[in-house]
Amino acid sequence: MLNRKLSVAPMLDWTDRFCRYFLRLISKRAVLYTEMVTTGALLHGDREHLLRFDPTEHPVALQLGGSDPKQLSQSARLGQQRGYDEINLNLGCPSDRVQSGRFGACLMSEPELVADCIKAMCDSVDIPVTVKQRIGIDHLDSYQLLRDFVGRLSLAGSRTFIVHARKAWLQGLSPKENREIPPLSYATVYKLKHDFPELEIIINGGITSVEQCDAHLAIVDGVMIGREAYHNPWILAQAEARLFGEVTALPTRHQVIEKLLPFVELELAAGVPLNRITRHILGLFHGQPGARAWRRYLSTHGFKKDAGANTILKAAGLVVAKHPAM
């Protein structure tokens, strides 16, 4: 069974395989999620590109977007065959593009269809099929509707629900605004755990500190961190020690860089531009003296044609030179 006490949210354009490899160097235990992959892209596009990940990323989950039970079943099977540890269904994204494809948060208005999708996926794979959802959408935001929705999907076969503790407005708000304007209601997620003690309930939304993680874990089964883990990835190292009782010394930020470099060299040799990797590591020194020099150097030099692993070392050297105790 996966230990989902701590996980990193699926984030479009952010949690690609380069980002996940980097985050795994910081946290050994957090469950990492892919960007959302639509069933259409997976079934008719470049599967190798879409499903590729490094074995060191385990535990890693594939998030799917779709609303056709057959296509989701086929896609889930492909994910299992590729070696993913979990298949997750996106029921939380509110963007217009996602709605036009009939997946994401808008599916919360179609519980019977979603239940059919979950059942089809569960019937086709042996790994967990989980759900990432909101607490409601538009005016369909009563607790009774939410409770019925979760109950129906649990009967269809899903035992793990990752709940973003905000409702989503499908019209009038951008995806960014939908992450900020609808108020957080952690109490609603807590109530779900109270009403479904047999289910695994993971809370998501607005979590920015290890102390908040601790407080949530007194009530729910796990926490999922989103943008904070991207902009301030060292929170995962802090959580590793606090939430899992890690007794070995944490790596330093410079040790993480050293471990990253062989991967960088391999990817560069395969033709990957350096900035596809460095854009994900800009937050490594977040909140530390020298963070600005690190970000500025990588942002200025990481996109150049001759940029290589040495570019990262030079950026790190600026931090060491100014702050040798780090």
Rounded to 5°, angle at Cα 270 from 305 and 281: 65
Contacts of residue 51, defined as CB under 8 A and 6 or more positions apart, other chains included, come to: 37, 42, 62, 78, 79, 82, 84
Query: Looking at 19, 93, 122, 213, which residue is catalytic?
Result: 93
In the chain, the DSSP E strands lie at 6-8, 31-33, 37-38, 60-65, 86-91, 129-134, 160-164, 200-204, 222-225
d(CA 294, CA 318): 7
Cβ contact 113:89 at 8 Å: no
How many Cβ atoms sit within 10 Å of the Cβ of residue 215?
A: 13
106 is catalytic: no
d(CA 201, CA 216): 11
Residue 197: both structure tokens together: 């003690």
- Residues that are catalytic: 93
